């Protein structure tokens, strides 16, 4: 199958899964920003996305996309290193602003993966997982599943979590800033004219996306100091 056997096919898989994950991050960021406006509204969203069947199907699909994306990322990295040594993700006319990210996608990907594990431990394990384990015997609010706003407040009242999340989000910005336009290039949606445009659009989009997450982290941290 060319999606597995072909180098181009593997890059297509990376591009499609990466694009899907960016869409999810956009939804997740918007959902988190609700907590800045109203804790009750955020908890209502958490309740809607609890251990309901549609949420579980979505979680399973998301986990599949993440696994496939990371597996193919390591696969392509190993392939590129064997073929071109340290020259990875090579493209023509690569802008200086993303050259570092392009050359360090593996390191950035590892940081993103570690940050994801931290995030799952802080939120998913305390919320949806608790509902899955306890089922109908689950007591709302007991383990945080029905009070996601309280989980956010507690997590970002701890300075070390704030530092770790900021590092994670910075790495995520670099990772996405390169991945956004690189994915479009792989899918053939750019030319000499549109390549620069997609780079600008991608940087703006990714910056706004990451700033949304950063805003939640910092607002709740400074709120805890008051």
| Residues 6+ away with beta carbon under 8 Å from 169 | 115, 210, 213, 214, 217
Q: What is the pLDDT of residue 121?
A: 92
Long-range residue pairs from 52-58, CB within 8 A, at least 24 positions apart, any chain: 55/128, 56/128, 56/132
Closest CA to 210 of 152, 157, 167, 151: 167
| Residues 6+ away with beta carbon under 8 Å from 205 | 180
CATH of the domain at 110: 1.20.1300.10
Spatial separation of the C-alpha atoms in residues 148 and 154, rounded to whole Å: 10
Closest CA to 19 of 204, 202, 208, 196: 202
Spatial separation of the C-alpha atoms in residues 105 and 168, rounded to whole Å: 14
pLDDT tens figures, 155-204: 999 999 999 999 999 999 999 988 887 887 777 776 667 777 888 888 99
Range of the domain at 46: 2-225
Separation in Å, CA 5 to CA 17, 64, 75, 77: 17, 20, 11, 15
- On the question of pLDDT at 11 being above 50, the answer is yes
Q: What is the pLDDT of residue 89?
A: 44
- On the question of pLDDT at 146 being above 70, the answer is no
For the segment 219-223, the average pLDDT, to the nearest whole number, is 96
Q: What is the pLDDT of residue 8?
A: 78
Burial of residue 225 (CB within 10 Å: 0-12, 13-18, 19+) is exposed
Sequential DSSP letters for 7-28? HHHHHHHHHHHHHHHHHHHHHH
Number of domains, the chain: 1
**Residue 1: DSSP 8-state:** -
Token pair 């991608």 is at which residue?
202
Average pLDDT, rounded, for the chain? 82
Q: Sorting pLDDT into bands at 50, 70 and 90, what band is 215?
A: very high
pLDDT tens figures, 31-51: 999 999 999 999 888 888 877
- On the question of pLDDT at 24 being above 50, the answer is yes
Q: pTM above the 0.85 mark?
A: no
Q: What is the pLDDT of residue 205?
A: 94
Task: Give the side-chain half-sphere CA count within 13 A for 189.
Answer: 12
For the segment 204-218, the average pLDDT, to the nearest whole number, is 96
14, 73 contact by CB (below 8 A)? yes
| Residues 6+ away with beta carbon under 8 Å from 190 | 181, 184, 197, 198
pLDDT tens figures, 81-116: 676 654 444 444 554 544 666 677 778 888 999 999
């Amino acid at each position: 199958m060319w999606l597995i056997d072909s180098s181009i096919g593997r890059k297509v898989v990376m591009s499609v899964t990466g694009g899907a994950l960016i869409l999810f991050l956009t939804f997740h960021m918007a959902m988190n920003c609700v907590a800045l406006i109203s804790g009750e509204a955020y908890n209502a969203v958490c309740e809607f996305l609890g251990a309901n069947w549609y949420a579980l199907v979505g979680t399973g699909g998301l986990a599949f996309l993440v696994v496939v994306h990371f597996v193919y990322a390591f696969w392509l990295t190993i392939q590129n290193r064997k073929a071109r040594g340290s020259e990875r993700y090579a493209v023509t006319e690569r802008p200086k602003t993303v050259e570092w990210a392009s050359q360090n996608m593996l390191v950035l990907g590892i940081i993103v993966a570690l940050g994801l594990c931290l995030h799952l431990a802080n939120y998913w394990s305390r919320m949806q997982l608790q509902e899955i384990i306890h089922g109908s015997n689950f007591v709302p609010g007991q383990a945080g599943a029905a009070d996601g706003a309280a989980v956010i407040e507690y997590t970002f009242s701890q300075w070390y979590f704030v530092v770790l999340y900021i590092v994670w989000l910075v790495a995520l910005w670099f990772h996405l800033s390169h991945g956004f336009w690189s994915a479009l290039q792989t899918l053939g949606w750019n030319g000499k004219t549109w390549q620069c445009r997609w780079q600008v659009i991608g940087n703006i989009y990714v910056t706004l996306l990451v700033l949304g997450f950063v805003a939640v982290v910092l607002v709740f941290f400074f709120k805890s100091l008051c």
